[in-house]
Structures are given as C-alpha cells and as structure tokens.
Chain A
C-alpha cells in the first residue's frame, strides 16, 4: 500500500526567504507530481517528475525526485506573497485497496508568505 506524507503541513515564511517542502512515499515509484491550489480554486499542475534525479524549475520553485530515498522536494527561493497557496504532491503507485496502479495524494502543505 502506497502512503504519501508531506511535511510540513503548514508553513509560514517571510518574503525573500528560502524553504523546502518534503514529500516522502512508502513504496517504489518513479513518477511524482506537484500541484498548487489557491484558496477556493482547483488544483493546478506544477511539475511532473518521471525519473530518478529529475529536476524541474519554474520561477522561484524547483522540484526534484530521488526515487532511491523515496523523496521529492519542492524548494522555494526568495519567496514572494504570490506563492501563498497549498501545495500537493502525488505519487503513482498501488493505493490503499491494492489491485491496480493509481495516483495517491499527500495531505498538502499550506504555505503563507508574509510581507
């Protein structure tokens, strides 16, 4: 059974600072996705990581995947207020009911960037 854990679940940081959100998962997988959700809005795809060592960058966000450690990181550089949102990671694998491969979501990290 694949389990996905994100930490921290809540993150409050000041503008201009750097921080990292972690996504750990419990079974072998080499495909991981990061989504962003603004308050009251839907989930928007940010990054798709499809192999060990994959690194993707978009603006102040950089995501990486280490399949051996079963870990993905979402690094925030010089945060700005516009990055305030909830960030979800999702991992392809075998879910709670087994039987087939699917996407399993973490609980999300709510990021607040303060001026």
Chain B
C-alpha cells in the first residue's frame, strides 16, 4: 500500500509564525497535492506539484507557498500564519499525470493558529 505520511497530526502556532507542514510518500509518485478541508467547504486545492522543483497554484494559494526539493517530499509553508488559516490540511499523491488513478491521502494535520 502507498503510504502518505504527514509529519504532525496536530499543531498549534501563533499568529505571524512561519509554519512548515511536511508530507512524504513512499511509492515514487510524481504528483503531490495540498488541500485544506473546512466544514461546509469541502476540500480546496492550495498547491500541487508534478515533479521536483515544480509547483502549480491551486484555487486558494494566497498566504501559502510550497517546496519540493525531493520527489518523495512536498512541504506546505505558511509564510505568516493567520487565524483564518486554522484548518485541517490534507496532503495527497498520485502516480503520474499521463493517466489518473486517484489520490492517496495522508492522515491530515489539524492546524490551529492562535
């Protein structure tokens, strides 16, 4: 089974802090994605990446950046955390962009910004 591992299950950070959320997958997947999940809003795409050092903006990239220095690792960065970034963050990966086989999700990181 593909494993997608998010480094933290729960995080509490202060307003203005720089926050790093880490995601690692172990199946050599090309594609990796970051979503945030909020009640009543579903899953909204923040950023995604098809390859090392490559990134694409999703629907809500404002206030976020990403880093993919290695194929297996995709980091989400909150440059200056704000209370409206309190949310559940889900990382996902999929095999490649030539044919779609569906995502495997991580367990999520519940971030609270105080």
A is bound by B: no
Report which A residues bind B (CB closer than 8 A).
none
Report which B residues bind A (CB closer than 8 A).
none
